[in-house]
Amino acid sequence: MEEQPTFTDLFRLDGRQALIIGAGGIGSEAARALSDHGAQVTCADRDRVAAEETAAAVGGASLTLDVTDPEAVRQAAENLPDLDIVVLTAAMNVRKRIIDYSPGEFDRVVDLNLKGTFAVIKYFGERMVSRHRGSLIVFSSIRDQVVEPGQSVYAATKAGAVQLVKTAAAEFGGVGVRVNAISPGIVETALTGQIKSQPEWYQAYATKNALGRWSVPSELAGAVVYLASDASSYVTGTTLRVDGGWTAMDGRFTPPTD
């Protein structure tokens, strides 16, 4: 009689092939988590050093990849045809009000955050569909739902990425390929250095969420493992918010309740 898997086994990724695109910061922690759960991880980044450092930490391969180049993404998908898990964390932001935005800045943000997401879903999704299995995980942001001054193009691309995820889930689901998004809140990474350098701004963000603090990259890793594993076998087309309750709260003021 075949032994039934335990619930602990649902999170195991033994024998599965994973690709992390955006191997620094959050991507580095995601790679470590997937590796610790048994996956063989390839680490990709536009920054060759970042890809190599994370790959060395998890005993995996590295790949220099710029997702703004659709042909490079297509070639990477062709060279890695047996992937079970693809995680896309790469993104950028230009914080400017709409009237101050230049067309060039608009194009840079859209090319990475939206066109890059489309290319990854298209080319890696095509391979997964042909094999009738796989999990695609795209990092979005709380800005896919809530905004503030200076977030127009970034927020638009993140909302667009979520819609791409939903559509891919609808199109790929019939053959067993799942597509989901993760929406972090405020995370301690190099990309948030501008905020951390201004104590008032930094503290305002901390007090906006229910937990009253920033997150660290390792706190996103559990969501990646969950969506990559059989523990989420019936989850697709969803956005998993790892935001400390940011999008659950209405404003920064706590009114009296007496």
Residues annotated as part of the active site: 154
Give the residue among 161, 76, 158 at the shortest CA–CA distance from 124.
76
Residue by residue, DSSP assigns 179-230 as EEEEEE-SB-SGGGHHHHTSHHHHHHHHHHSTTSS-B-THHHHHHHHHHHSG
Tell me which amino acid residue 88 is: L
| Token pair for 3 | 């032994």
Rg (C-alpha) for the chain, rounded Å, is: 18
Q: What is the dihedral of CA 54, 55, 58, 60, to 10 degrees?
A: 160
Contacts of residue 82, defined as CB under 8 A and 6 or more positions apart, other chains included, come to: 17, 131
Distance, in Å, from the CA atom of 204 to the CA atom of 45, rounded to the nearest integer, reads 32
What number of other Cβ atoms are within 10 A of residue 251's Cβ?
Answer: 7
Under the phi-then-psi rule, with left for phi > 0, alpha for psi from -120 to 50, and beta for the rest, what region is 150? left
Beta-ladder partners of 179:
136
